[in-house]
Structure 1
Amino acid sequence: MASVNTPRVLSIQSHVVHGYVGNKSAIFPLQVLGFEVDSINTVQFSTHTGYKHIKGTILQNEEMAELIEGLTLNEVDYYTHFLTGYSRSPDSLKQIAGIIKKLREKNPALIYVCDPVMGDNGQMYVPADILPVYRDVVVPLADIITPNQFEAELMTGLKVKDLKGALEVIQALHDKGVKTVVLSSTDLGDDTKMIGIASTKGGSCYQIQIPKMDATYTGTGDLFAALFLAWSHKTNNDIKLTLEKTIATLQGIVKDTYQKARALQPEGEIPKALIELRLIQNKTIIENPVVEIKAVEITIN
């Protein structure tokens, strides 16, 4: 049985040898913030898939089952939190739903944080038949979900054209049983900022402005979900403070990553290898983010 004082996370995500996405993006911040993290890597790739050459291996469903069986047989399958990100197939996602149910037999109070990674900017980068599994099987099991606007629209069949539309999408996800719904980014801002929205079922709803950076980062969604998990635990589910701390950490890391990359590449597009998130160098920001952007309460009518 685990120590009662230390929260324990099982994180099932992708893994890269170089760079920071999936588990590489989630584990270090969680550990720095005081969590024990056990991880299962759904893929092991040389780099994230935005690079020119992709090499590596994919964990097969029977291999995943074997790992879970080993944890269970050794009675080390007690977790306070369960975190999932990118899943490559409907079958692997159904398997994850089974794992959640199994873990909840050991700890009925287990908190499941689901980042339903399906796409962005109107494009799906997973098979289309993953969508109904997220929508109908996985999301109803989640305590916290952190989709971007596009993913939230996919799961509800609703469009976010304004704040009212965003709140309708959030309510539709609450109606599926999710306690905390976080739209990690929406297009409701302007050229300089995005808007993030977090809502608790039957409780408060907050929006926060997220400054845009002149670069595309990979792994920020994975980092967002891990940070939101950590801070919701550390603040005893204070959703306003959790959103503020999460965004403060992300902004600090993204800003530093951008500035260092720009110093090396003053003009033009920044190469992918220079824009890998600088997590290790920003350990102090992860531990103690300074909140400069406040979340503002919005009402659901």
Structure 2
Amino acid sequence: QVVPLAAVLTPNHFEAEVLTERKIGSVAEAADACKALHARGPHTVVITSLQLSRGGDGGDGGGGGGASPTDDTIVMVASRRDETGVVLQWALTLPRLPQHFTGTGDLTSALFLAWSDRLPLPHQLAEVLERVGASLQALLQATRAAGR
């Protein structure tokens, strides 16, 4: 009920599957899920952590993305629908650190908000995604190095 009221939505992999009532097994399927969520209201959707197996196609859903996802990576997908209905999407593949962290989805959402304020949307979504990923990796690596 709240999705149509949201301007920005930041679900993780599981939450995106629940919200769209579909399985997401590839970056292309994540991009399609973002489009389905756009159709329900939000102009910006960021799937904060896709955990794809080596069977994921590595497609980029229409944006950048680089390397294909593997079991050792996490993928973030950002999607923006503009006022004319055009959807732009990007995927960012990040290394998965060999440690369990709690609260990374909330941290990702907070970083997205902070970087969006510094690099206003809609034109800078790709750069916002890159900076969110870099900031997240730096914080998690520092946490790991500190033995936390």
TM range (shorter): 0.7 to 0.9
Flag the 1:168–1:203 CA change in 2: closer, same or farther, 3 A: closer
Give the counterpart letter for 1:153 in structure 2. Answer: E
**Partners of 1:171 and 1:209 in 2: CA distance:** 20
Q: Is residue 168 of structure 1 aligned with residue 54 of structure 2?
A: no
Q: Is residue 232 of structure 1 aligned with residue 96 of structure 2?
A: no
The match for 1:197 is: 77
Task: Give 1:230 deviation, angstroms.
Answer: 1.4
**Partners of 2:74 and 2:26 in 1: CA distance:** 13
The match for 1:259 is: 145
State which of 115, 133, 136 in structure 2 corresponds to 1:247: 133
Query: TM-score, normalised on structure 2?
Result: 0.81
The match for 2:3 is: 139
Greater RCO (CA < 8 Å, at least 6 residues apart): 2
Q: Secondary structure at the match of 2:129?
A: helix
Runs of 4+ in structure 1 displaced over 4 angstroms? none
The match for 1:210 is: 94
Whose Rg is larger? Answer: 1
**Partners of 2:115 and 2:76 in 1: CA distance:** 16
**Partners of 2:34 and 2:101 in 1: CA distance:** 25
> What pairs with 1:1-301 in structure 2 (closer than 5 Å)?
137-188=1-52, 189-201=69-81, 202-237=86-121, 238-261=124-147, 274=148
**Unaligned residue ranges in structure 2 (runs of 5+):** 53-68
Q: Secondary structure at the match of 1:205?
A: strand
Q: Secondary structure at the match of 2:70?
A: coil
**Partners of 2:117 and 2:146 in 1: CA distance:** 32
**Partners of 2:10 and 2:28 in 1: CA distance:** 19
Q: How many matched pairs?
A: 126
Could you say what the CA RMSD is over the residues aligned between the two structures, in angstroms? 1.1
Query: TM-score, normalised on structure 1?
Result: 0.41
Whether contact under 8 Å (2:77, 2:92) holds in the other structure is yes
Task: Give 1:190 deviation, angstroms.
Answer: 1.1
Q: Secondary structure at the match of 1:204?
A: strand
**Partners of 2:27 and 2:133 in 1: CA distance:** 19
Task: Give 1:164 deviation, angstroms.
Answer: 2.5
**Unaligned residue ranges in structure 1 (runs of 5+):** 1-136, 262-273, 275-301
Q: Secondary structure at the match of 1:147?
A: coil
